[in-house]
Amino acid sequence: MSATNSEAAQSDFAIRKILAAALLLFPCLFVLVFLMHFGNASDFFHFRLHYQPRPPERVVTTLIRAQNRWPLIHDPHILGYLSLPLIPLCAFALYIAGRERRPMASAIGMFLTVTGTIYLGGIFGMWTAFYRGLGLVDPSQTQGAIATFKAMTTNQGAFRLTTTLGKLAMIGLMFQGFTLIGRIRPWAICCIVTGALLFLLFWDLDNWMMIGVLLMVTGFVPVRRILLEGEPRGVAVAEHGSGD
């Protein structure tokens, strides 16, 4: 029985270590995604309050000329796309930290975050497909490609629905931040909530979103401590029982 308790404690801590790692990896990878969007360092300091998409003519022409000569992983959208499974792990980590005091609210917050992540996958997958697909277009079809790209990226219909539902991920993280009141310091809660709010309010503005992600990873520090602090006690108790 004691040996079983020891194995359970070690297995539980291994899961907690994975969740703690996700709380670090998700923000770091997304910071890299945003950095890849900047042409040079000065672009970071161009703060705007509203997203202004680049002219479709310039985007399409550039991508057709490039003909996908760069590796797929050099596309920031694909890096963000591949990083998305880390967000549900973060949601579960925040749920574990908050369920002790607010089990129902923590579960609802996790549900919102995971649901939004599903639709974020649609957003990232959509943009990756657009960009790589345009690289396959024959230059003689540029005008048609521009018209098609304009139609497919107009903020209405399925495009708008998917983008709106993807924002549930940040709403969920904000909600989960509030469920941690009393579990972590107020400054950490402010970092998580403010970071998710910046991401939400300045959607598609890379510098604002990067600041939001940096705030979130700062707020995640005490959550990582909660996940990891139980290891010495759990393992020590189990091992002590096995000695008896």
The model's pLDDT over 86-142, given as tens digits with 9 standing for 90+, comes to: 999 999 999 999 998 899 999 999 999 999 999 999 999 888 888 888 888 888 888
Q: For residues 188 and 27, give the distance between their C-alpha atoms in angstroms, rounded to a whole number.
A: 15
Q: For residues 191 and 195, give the distance between their C-alpha atoms in angstroms, rounded to a whole number.
A: 6
pLDDT at 239 exceeding the cut of 70: no
Q: Percentage of the chain with pLDDT > 90?
A: 51
Average pLDDT over residues 37-46: 80
Q: For residues 135 and 10, give the distance between their C-alpha atoms in angstroms, rounded to a whole number.
A: 49
Which segment of 16-25, 144-153, 216-225 scores lowest on mean pLDDT?
Answer: 144-153
Quick one: pLDDT band at residue 220, thresholds 50, 70, 90? very high
Q: Name the token pair of 135.
A: 């690289």
Average pLDDT of every residue of the chain: 86
CA distances (Å), origin 173, targets 143, 151, 198: 42, 32, 12
Per-residue pLDDT, 230: 54
Average pLDDT over residues 209-230: 92
Sign of CA dihedral 80, 86, 88, 93: negative
Residue type, 180: L
How large is the C-alpha radius of gyration of the chain? 21
pLDDT at 187 exceeding the cut of 60: yes
Where does 38-141 have alpha helices with state H? 56-66, 76-83, 86-98, 103-134
Q: For residues 79 and 243, give the distance between their C-alpha atoms in angstroms, rounded to a whole number.
A: 48
Q: Percentage of the chain with pLDDT > 70?
A: 90
Per-residue pLDDT, 194: 97
pLDDT at 6 exceeding the cut of 90: no
pLDDT at 226 exceeding the cut of 60: yes
